[in-house]
Each structure stands twice: as C-alpha cells, then as structure tokens.
Amino acid sequence: MTLDNVGAELAEGSTYQVHVLGLHQNVAAGFDSGTLTLRLNGNELPALGKVVDRQADTVTFTIKRQPADQTKWQSLSGSPPLDGRRKVIVGVGQSGHPDYDYAGPSAPTTVLRLFYPGSWVAVALELAILALVAALATRTGMLRNPSPVLGPG
C-alpha cells in the first residue's frame, strides 16, 4: 500500500483524512485495517479512533489526546510557536511496522494546530480586566462597603 494524499491541517478534536492507494484490494485480501496507525514526526499514535472507507481508499482518524500517548503529544507540542501551528511529517502504516511509502516526491507534511492565536487575545483581555479591577479596588471605594453617611442629629 502507498500513502497518496494527506490533509492540510489537523487539530485536537478534529478529524484527519489520508488516502491510501491499494487499501481496498488489501482489505479484500484479508488485511486487518484496524492495525493502521497515524504517525506524526515518527510518533505512532495507536490510540486514535479511525474510520476506514475501503471503497474510497481513505482512513479518517479522530484527533484526540489519550493518556497512553501523553509523552508522544508532549514531544509534538513542546515549546509551541507563537502562531500555534507546527509543521509535522505524516506517516501511516501498520502498528509496529514502518510507514507506507509516499506517492509524492518528498515526505508528506501537514500543519498541527496546537492552539488558536485568538486565545492570546482572550488571555490578555482577561488580565487587563483583572488589573483594572485591582486598581479600582485599591484606589477607590468602589468595591468596599462604606458605612452609611450619618446625617446631623
């Protein structure tokens, strides 16, 4: 079998589809498609859910971090770039065996989305609001419960 086409981007909670030439014929001949695993930068991720479409020669993996693969995900996501995207090499093959060959001229790559840049904006906004409330609390009576003003008499 040969890896023919890979998706452009993958992220936690998404699905990721690859096209494997010859999958239909091999499954018809008795190949167990349940042994197929996705590899990112050589890290085999066997705990991912998968759906095999023999007619279309595709395998769709559900990208979800599993405790069994924690150290592999740490090596993939450690020191993330500021834009939250990392280019990774994609491989598919039987568990415990080498990757299938790729039909293209070089190793297939995709973008691993580690986080969305908008999350930095949300964190910065939350910190700004917290700083504003702290400043108002220390400089004004806005957050205090002042005693009532007693009139004459």
Residue-range domain boundaries for the chain: 2-113, 117-144
CATH fold label, 2-113: Immunoglobulin-like (2.60.40)
Residue 35 · residue 95 · CB < 8 Å: yes
Distance CA 147, CA 47 (A): 62
Convert the pLDDT of each residue in 55-114 to its tens digit. 999 999 998 888 888 888 888 888 777 777 899 999 998 888 888 899 888 889 999 988
For 8-84, where are the E strands, in sequence order? 9-11, 15-21, 36-40, 43-45, 49-53, 58-62
Whole-structure pTM value: 0.70
The residue with greater pLDDT, 37 or 143, is 37
Asked if residues 46 and 79 have their Cβ atoms less than 8 Å apart, the reply is no
Chain segment 48-61, per-residue pLDDT in tens: 889 999 899 999 99
Residue 3 has φ and ψ, to the nearest 5°, of: -75, 120
